[in-house]
Chain A
Amino acid sequence: MTATLAPSAGTETQATWPAILALARFEGRMMVRHPVTWLGALGSVAMAAFRLWEEAPVLNRVSVTLAWTMLPLGAAVALVSGWAVLRAKGRTDAHPPMVMPIAMAQRVGGIVLGLTYPAIGTFALQMSLLGWSMTRDPVTSVVWTEILAGPIYVLFAGAVGAAVTRWMSHPAAPLLSVLVLLGLMIAFPYQQEDWGRNIGIEWLSPLAWPQDIIPYEVAFRPAGLHLGYLTGLTLFVAGVATLGRLNVVWPVLAIGLLVAAILGPAQLGPIGESRRVEAMNRLVGNTAELSCETHHGIDFCAMPGYAGWIEEWAAAIQPVVSVAPIERLKGLEIRQYPAHFTHFYEMDPTTSDWWWIEPAAKDYLARNAIALGSVWAPWTSNNLLHGVSIAAIGCSDRADECLGESAQVVLVWLQAHDSRYAEYLFYDAEHSGSSFVWTCIVTDFWANPDGAEIIRDNWSVLTNPATSYEEASNIMGVSLPTGYDREGHLEGACP
């Protein structure tokens, strides 16, 4: 057995730390310049840009997205960091680094400290994406504890790459470190039951993935605790990677383990009342900052920077206002909320759906209000029309279930003022193999140039929950399809 001398300095000297710092600068530059790092960054940019574009920037959803989309970049840095350690270890015992004063553990220490370079690069990348995102949404709020999880995760990933490669003498070790990293990401499954009240163990994953059923997750993420937990994990893994010859390693390793052990479980617990109030305030927005105007007896309230949109909102509901009795709409508030998820999640903060997720939300939301988000487009205008139409028809809690058969026809007809919805309606009626009875009535009625007048004249009857499809079709002068079930579903297309 060959007795190879430990390629180590054994003890730290005055020159050790300056050399490690110089090495950190060198390794940091090499890691940032590495093509694989750029490839990972490209993946992260693509993922973040796609999600930010798709999701519509609302509240701290941007911050959350800017953290978890750094996943590809972290995986790339883990690989590059592992390769750096592989290089530092050398292929033979006669490799020049083996006979240098800076020992293996110290060389890995330089690599681990050098990870601050890609971490800083990650932060710069996030800021660029944030800047781009803010050009689309002036009210984007920034949650730094969420965003910082991105760079810390990149540090963690690099430390994993270094640790696995340091202690596994195989050329495939860097690749294995990436698998370890990804394994950690998916090892903590969502806690499905009672997800609305408790936070699942996915928070033990280095990067917590956002759930798709969201408002709760967005508003109540224990981002600060998670950041602390992730930092603790990073220190621990960095300590494992550099075990051997540096005096500072054991304290770092111990502190990291302690922090992770304390904050890991702490982030899983229920959040406090003050945090809940703070989060709800974020979701609902600051009422004092709203700019309000009244049109058609309806109050329109916009967040700072959106006052110019009120005219558009008022114009969008004009067709409904021109038909519905104005007294039904008085006192109605059309209000912009920072957290309006209807666009993506089909959830509205003013509906009971949300209250189920977070009952406390009910106390914070304005009554008799229609929610608008920070995106104004044809598909969001339909949501506004729906809310105003429901309010005009007189459903007190604005749930569709309170409508009668005839009122359902009126509701659809009113919404059809939105051209996009009308196009969908007619397409559905003409091409679908099956349809709903109200679709057929409205499609037929749409051709009547006196439609608005007929509805206005018969408003009370048509919006009465007791009025049937048959009565509605008689009033509207259209033929009633046959063969529909209790829910109005037709077997086959409209006649």
Chain B
Amino acid sequence: MTVTLTEVRKVYGSVRALDGVSFRLETGITGLLGPNGAGKTTLLRCLATVLAPDTGHLDVLGLDPDRPDQRTEIRRQMGYLPQEPGFYRNFTCFDFVDYLAILKEHVDRTERHAEVRRVLELTGLADKSTTKIRKLSGGMRRRLALAQALLGSPRFLVLDEPTAGLDPELRFRFRELVTELAVDRVVLLSTHQTEDVSAICDRVIVLDSGRVRFDGTPARLADIAAGKVWLAAERPASARIFWRMASGQFRAVGRPPDGAEIIDPTIEDGYVMLVGAAALGTETEAA
């Protein structure tokens, strides 16, 4: 069970949203990181069969999305959580998921309703099933969007910012849920939440300016910043980025001064070192 991209390119006018992207996804959770405009959403849309790449090739679970019949089969086996799902405000939660379940060919009414209840339960919305969507908070809507993506236990899950707007408890529940699902599924998780990536992803891909800048484990991404994160009592002049912590010390990422108190990096530090130019508007000091 794999998803493969080979030299995928997608251009919007003069902007190269995807510029020769190649990688292979396997069972487990892969995190997709990148600055705004890096091409993450375009990449997810191509994988979700919304967009066709200009060039290159996609293979999703052994199926070719360019072929209409195989595209349909991909859609049957895929769950997609878009960044902006476009809710029907006057639908109840149950009706919304029920409608999408029908579109996913869950035709038996009894089984379909059981499935709708299951995904609402999974996302903690069971008690909101008769609530109109317009009355839901932003976080609840995000859970509802996730619920529809989980319909039919898809083999390939494409999740665009799934934890945006979720409170900590729900984020933990989400992690629990996705890690259980990922045992025998391919999950691609695009996020700005590096904690989620370090917590649940086996692998992380960093996209920048339409290109893959990093593909490896979260630990390897953190290693990019190894020896480049330190604590300082004074405002550090050589740091690429720094901030004052609650203790009053400064945590700095960049080129440490001699004798600096070096600490262990996180993947966030590695990410900053990797895409610093795009993320911070300064010259990249990539590994």
Docked-complex contact B52 and A3, CB < 8 angstroms: yes
How far, in whole Å, are A10 and B109 apart by their CA atoms in the complex? Answer: 25
Q: Which residues from B are CB-within-8-Å of A7? A: 50
Docked-complex contact B103 and A94, CB < 8 angstroms: no
Contact of B76 among A5, A25, A98, A101 (CB under 8 A): A101
A101-B72, A101-B75, A101-B76 given; A22·B50 CB < 8 A: no
A2-B12, A22-B102, A99-B78 given; A9·B72 CB < 8 A: yes
Q: Which residues from A are CB-within-8-Å of B54? A: 3
Whether A173 is near chain B, meaning CB under 8 Å from some CB there, is no
How far, in whole Å, are A18 and B71 apart by their CA atoms in the complex? Answer: 20
Docked-complex contact A18 and B107, CB < 8 angstroms: yes
Docked-complex contact B86 and A102, CB < 8 angstroms: no
Whether B48 is near chain A, meaning CB under 8 Å from some CB there, is yes
How far, in whole Å, are A59 and B103 apart by their CA atoms in the complex? Answer: 48
Please name the residue on chain B nearest to A102 by beta carbon: B103
Contact of A22 among B71, B95, B107 (CB under 8 A): B107
Question: Would you list which residues of chain B between 51 and 103 have a CB under 8 Å from chain A?
Answer: 51-52, 54, 65, 68-69, 71-72, 75-76, 78, 80, 82-86, 88, 95, 98-100, 102-103
How far, in whole Å, are A140 and B102 apart by their CA atoms in the complex? Answer: 45
Docked-complex contact A4 and B50, CB < 8 angstroms: yes
Q: What range describes how many residues of A lie at the interface?
A: 35 or more
A361 to chain B, nearest CB (A): 55
Docked-complex contact B88 and A87, CB < 8 angstroms: yes
Please name the residue on chain A nearest to B103 by beta carbon: A100
Docked-complex contact B86 and A90, CB < 8 angstroms: yes
Whether A107 is near chain B, meaning CB under 8 Å from some CB there, is yes
Docked-complex contact B95 and A98, CB < 8 angstroms: no
Interface of A is mostly: loop
Q: Which residues from B are CB-within-8-Å of A13? A: 69, 72
A2-B51, A90-B86 given; A97·B72 CB < 8 A: no
Q: Which residues from B are CB-within-8-Å of A8? A: 68
A112 to chain B, nearest CB (A): 15
Q: Which residues from A are CB-within-8-Å of B85? A: 94-96
Q: Which residues from A are CB-within-8-Å of B86? A: 90-92, 94-96
Mask for A291-326, Cβ within 8 A of B = 1, else 0? Answer: 000000000000000000000000000000000000
Docked-complex contact A99 and B49, CB < 8 angstroms: yes
Contact of A99 among B48, B83, B99 (CB under 8 A): B48
Docked-complex contact B52 and A5, CB < 8 angstroms: yes
Q: Which residues from A are CB-within-8-Å of B198? A: none
Q: Which residues from B are CB-within-8-Å of A91? A: 86
Q: Which residues from A are CB-within-8-Å of B68? A: 6, 8-11
Q: Which residues from A are CB-within-8-Å of B52? A: 3-5
Whether B148 is near chain A, meaning CB under 8 Å from some CB there, is yes
Q: Which residues from A are CB-within-8-Å of B72? A: 9-11, 13, 101
A10-B69, A26-B98, A99-B80 given; A19·B105 CB < 8 A: yes
Question: Would you list which residues of chain A between 1 and 33 have a CB under 8 Å from chain B?
Answer: 2-11, 13, 15-16, 18-19, 21-23, 25-26, 30
Q: Which residues from A are CB-within-8-Å of B103? A: 19, 23, 97, 100-102, 107
Q: Which residues from B are CB-within-8-Å of A101? A: 72, 75-76, 103-105
Docked-complex contact B148 and A96, CB < 8 angstroms: yes
Whether A93 is near chain B, meaning CB under 8 Å from some CB there, is yes
Mask for B175-196, Cβ within 8 A of A = 1, else 0? Answer: 0000000000000000000000
Q: Which residues from B are CB-within-8-Å of A2? A: 12, 51
How far, in whole Å, are A308 and B78 apart by their CA atoms in the complex? Answer: 75
Please name the residue on chain A nearest to B112 by beta carbon: A22
How far, in whole Å, are A98 and B50 apart by their CA atoms in the complex? Answer: 7
How far, in whole Å, are A305 and B270 apart by their CA atoms in the complex? Answer: 95
Docked-complex contact A100 and B82, CB < 8 angstroms: no
Whether B213 is near chain A, meaning CB under 8 Å from some CB there, is no
Docked-complex contact A96 and B102, CB < 8 angstroms: no
Q: Which residues from A are CB-within-8-Å of B149? A: 96
Mask for B134-175, Cβ within 8 A of A = 1, else 0? Answer: 000000000001001100000000000000000000000000
Q: Which residues from B are CB-within-8-Å of A98? A: 50
Contact of B50 among A15, A16, A94 (CB under 8 A): A94
Residue contacts A-B, CB under 8 angstroms, 13 given: A8-B68, A10-B71, A11-B68, A15-B107, A18-B105, A19-B103, A19-B107, A26-B102, A96-B148, A97-B100, A97-B103, A101-B72, A102-B103
Task: Kindly list 12 other residue pairs between chains A and B, CB separation below 8 angstroms, not including A23-B103, A94-B41.
Answer: A4-B50, A8-B68, A10-B69, A13-B72, A94-B45, A94-B82, A95-B86, A96-B80, A96-B100, A101-B72, A102-B104, A102-B105
List residues of chain A with CB under 8 Å of any chain B CB.
2-11, 13, 15-16, 18-19, 21-23, 25-26, 30, 87, 90-102, 107, 110
